[in-house]
Amino acid sequence: MSPVTPNWIALAGTSTAVVAGSLPAAAALYLTTLSVAALMGAAFLAYLVAVDDPRPARLYEAAVCAVAGALLLGDLAVRVPGVVSATAPAGATKIAFVALALVVATLVAPMVPWPRLQARAGRGLRELLQR
């Protein structure tokens, strides 16, 4: 069983915010508030991990958790007036999708063979410069 990482906490939080877009305005506001709390906790945990292990991947993870949390906070700010009028704002779900895409990128990034891609890009760049 793998440990719970900030990435997985952030994925759960952003997924909840995306699902909240299809709910009534009050429920969506409540779930988005919980998602913001989860993302802020994930960002703090990612910061603590990055302090102990300052590799670029850990710093990237901390930054993405913080940015995704800030995006969800913006999503929450957009949703607040909608509770009074009982209508969901159009742009709120899009903000949650952007936060979800950022978090998914942190989960996919460690699986990409970066040294091989850099070697291929370097070879292609050298060939272009030699022409």
pLDDT in tens, 34-58: 999 999 999 999 999 999 988 888 8
123 domain-assigned: yes
- Integer Cα distance of 74 and 15 in angstroms: 16
Cβ–Cβ under 8 Å, residues 79 and 32: yes
25 domain-assigned: yes
1 domain-assigned: no
Where does residue 113 fall: left (phi above 0), alpha (psi -120 to 50 degrees), or beta otherwise? beta
Q: Which domain holds residue 11?
A: 6-130
Interior/surface letters 23-61, b for 16+ CB within 10 angstroms, e for the rest: eebeebbebbbebbebbbbbbebbbebbeeeeeeebbbb
37 domain-assigned: yes
Mean pLDDT for back-to-back runs of 10 residues, the chain (131 residues): 82 93 86 94 93 85 92 88 72 87 86 66 61 62
